[in-house]
């Protein structure tokens, strides 16, 4: 299966939302409660992702991974740091989300998505990028470390009724 990485367009929102929900269910089943995963809704995520198109920001980038059959199987989004994360992450930009379906993992698609977002952020003058990852999400942590990220602060929060711990990762960008 060949996978194309391209800029997302508004018609992709349902595909992105579907990957977001299925990605959580596949990837988080070992450390999030069945109740938290059952409560996810493609409709809710679709509305959330429509928001990304309502106020387009040229300094942000949303990329999708698409099969040759036209199915969205992954996405990644990064941009200027949000107000709520500026102090804690302490970086100029952040990765808001990166998700792949199980069937396309470990084929370099994550690296291509992340590289595309990081290149865009570097080209827009950002020098540091941060993100939060669940502490127990070891595959993603190994992935971020393979791409040069370094772990830092931790925080815990209530995720749909379950207390979870997240770890911050930081990437330095060079042009």
Residues near ligand COA (CB under 6 A): 23, 27, 98-100, 105-111, 133, 137, 139-140, 142-143, 146
Q: Which two tokens stand for residue 127?
A: 């020098």
Reduce the DSSP state of residue 118 to 3 states and report it: helix
Residue (24 or 53) nearer to ligand COA, CB: 24
The DSSP code sequence of 131-143 is EEEETT-HHHHHH
CA angle 76/127/123 to nearest 5° reads 65
Q: What is the closest distance, in whole angstroms, from the C-beta atom of residue 141 to ligand COA in the complex?
A: 8
Give the residue at shortest CB distance from ligand COA.
Answer: 110
How far apart are alpha carbons 36 and 34 in whole angstroms? 6
Residue (23 or 130) nearer to ligand COA, CB: 23
Q: What is the closest distance, in whole angstroms, from the C-beta atom of residue 73 to ligand COA in the complex?
A: 10
Q: Which residues make beta-bridge pairs with 62?
A: 77
Q: What is the closest distance, in whole angstroms, from the C-beta atom of residue 47 to ligand COA in the complex?
A: 20
Q: What is the closest distance, in whole angstroms, from the C-beta atom of residue 156 to ligand COA in the complex?
A: 15
Residue (125 or 148) nearer to ligand COA, CB: 148
Asked whether the beta carbons of 6 and 62 are under 8 A apart, the reply is no
Residue (125 or 172) nearer to ligand COA, CB: 172
Q: What is the closest distance, in whole angstroms, from the C-beta atom of residue 126 to ligand COA in the complex?
A: 19
How far apart are alpha carbons 144 and 150 in whole angstroms? 8
């Amino acid at each position: 299966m060949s996978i194309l990485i391209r800029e997302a367009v508004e018609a992709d929102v349902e595909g992105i939302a579907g990957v977001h929900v299925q990605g959580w269910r596949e990837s988080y089943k070992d450390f999030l409660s069945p109740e938290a995963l059952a409560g996810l809704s493609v409709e809710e995520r679709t509305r959330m992702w429509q928001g990304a198109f309502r106020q387009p920001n040229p300094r942000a980038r949303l990329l999708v991974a698409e099969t040759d059959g036209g199915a969205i199987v992954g996405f990644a989004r990064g941009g200027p740091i949000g107000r709520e994360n500026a102090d804690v992450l302490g970086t100029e930009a952040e990765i808001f989300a990166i998700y792949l379906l199980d069937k396309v993992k470990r084929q370099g698609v994550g690296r291509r998505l992340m590289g595309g977002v990081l290149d865009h952020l570097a080209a827009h003058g950002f020098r540091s990028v941060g993100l939060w990852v669940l502490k127990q999400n070891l595959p993603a942590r190994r992935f971020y470390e393979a791409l040069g990220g370094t772990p830092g602060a931790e925080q815990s929060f209530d995720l749909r009724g379950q207390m979870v711990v997240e770890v911050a990762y930081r990437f330095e960008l060079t042009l």
